[in-house]
Amino acid sequence: MIEARGLTKRYGDTLAVDGLSFDVRPGLVTGFLGPNGSGKSTTMRMVMGLDRPDGGSVKVGGRRYHDLPWPLREVGGLLESKAVHPGRSAYNHLWALAQTNDIAAARVHELLEVVGLAAVARKRAGKFSLGMTQRLGIAAALLGDPGVLLFDEPINGLDPEGILWVRTLLKRLASEGRAVFVSSHLMSEMALTADHLVVIGRGKLIADQPVADFVAQSSRASVRVRTPKPDPLIAAMTEAGGRVHSEPDGALVVNGLAAAAIGDLAAGLGIALHELAPHAASLEEAFMELTHESVEFRAEDVGSTPAVAEGRP
């Protein structure tokens, strides 16, 4: 369980993280989404006690990271792919970490097998590919068998097989009752792995909700309608609060009305429907919409004049 409350980090004049509050609960994969530079890595470093917050606090399992009795047995983090001395072997890197928290050497061997690095365990980590380095980082995160795991962009540099492996691993870790917090700027990736989303833009919380709700709330959710008599239906749908666009092929795309409501309207008017297809917004679309708004809001905030502010709906 991670509890962030009003977490704030300032670099010079810029607020990298701005009053962020969220929870990462056990048993779920919580996706941490935001554009590059939105403060995801900074937030994760603050959770791990590496960066000191300028305001607010974050606790892991009810304690500050600094006060954890066995940090590696409680929290595992893959923060940066390159966090290994290039001249040290994979085994010795993990063994040196294991010794700090009284973790047995057997666990190091076990994890090298799990991440598929057993054959190169004695090779210098500096010779590793990005994907192998990432696997070594994942092994380091799992070393203490912790209940809370943080992964910052874990699929970076992995081949398709590796990506699949990470997805399966994340879900498995969550199903074992661990709190799994995964950052990504790739919405499609989160759609496949996350149960819950924490979305930030410019260091501020934009959304904190289940993936399904996040998608459903997007105004990009639409219904495709095809009918031989469009005009009366368009009038009725507009009156009911829908926004209707005509596609070149004659189909209508309706926002703001559920498929069932459109079907009922058509039935009431005695109009035949040849197509009635709800289209859920993709996570990507929902995300673009939300972060776009956040960016616009910030831009307006900075250069605001009353006229511009009033000019917006």
Residues that bind another protein (CB under 8 A): 45, 48-52, 65-66, 68-75, 77, 79-80, 82-89, 92-93, 95-97, 99-102, 110, 114, 140, 142, 145, 147, 169, 172-173, 175-178
Contacts of 113 (CB under 8 A, 6+ apart): none
Q: Nearest distance from residue 164's CB to another protein, in Å?
A: 14
Q: Nearest distance from residue 175's CB to another protein, in Å?
A: 7
Q: Nearest distance from residue 59's CB to another protein, in Å?
A: 13
CB 112 within 8 Å of CB 91: yes
CB 210 within 8 Å of CB 197: yes
Nearer to another protein, 21 or 92 (CB): 92
CB 1 within 8 Å of CB 61: yes
In eight-state DSSP terms, residue 30 is: E
Q: Nearest distance from residue 67's CB to another protein, in Å?
A: 8
The H or E element spanning position 164 is helix 160-175
Nearer to another protein, 172 or 243 (CB): 172
CB neighbourhood size of 15 (10 A): 17
* Three-class DSSP category at 80: coil
Quote the CA–CA distance of 226 and 246 in Å, as a whole number. 10
Q: Nearest distance from residue 109's CB to another protein, in Å?
A: 12
Nearer to another protein, 50 or 164 (CB): 50
Phi, psi of 220 (to 5 degrees): -75, -10
For the record, the structure tokens of 22 come out as 């969220």
Nearer to another protein, 23 or 51 (CB): 51
Q: Nearest distance from residue 86's CB to another protein, in Å?
A: 6
Q: Nearest distance from residue 310's CB to another protein, in Å?
A: 42
Residue that is written with structure tokens 């429907």 in the block? 273
Nearer to another protein, 97 or 236 (CB): 97
Nearer to another protein, 69 or 303 (CB): 69
Sequential DSSP letters for 125-149: GGG--HHHHHHHHHHHHHTT--SEE
- Sign of the alpha-carbon dihedral angle for 202, 206, 211, 216: negative
Quote the CA–CA distance of 106 and 90 in Å, as a whole number. 14
Nearer to another protein, 97 or 253 (CB): 97
Q: Nearest distance from residue 85's CB to another protein, in Å?
A: 5
Cα separation values, 194 from 170, 181, 203, 308, Å: 9, 9, 20, 38
Nearer to another protein, 84 or 187 (CB): 84
- Single-letter code of the amino acid located at 309: A
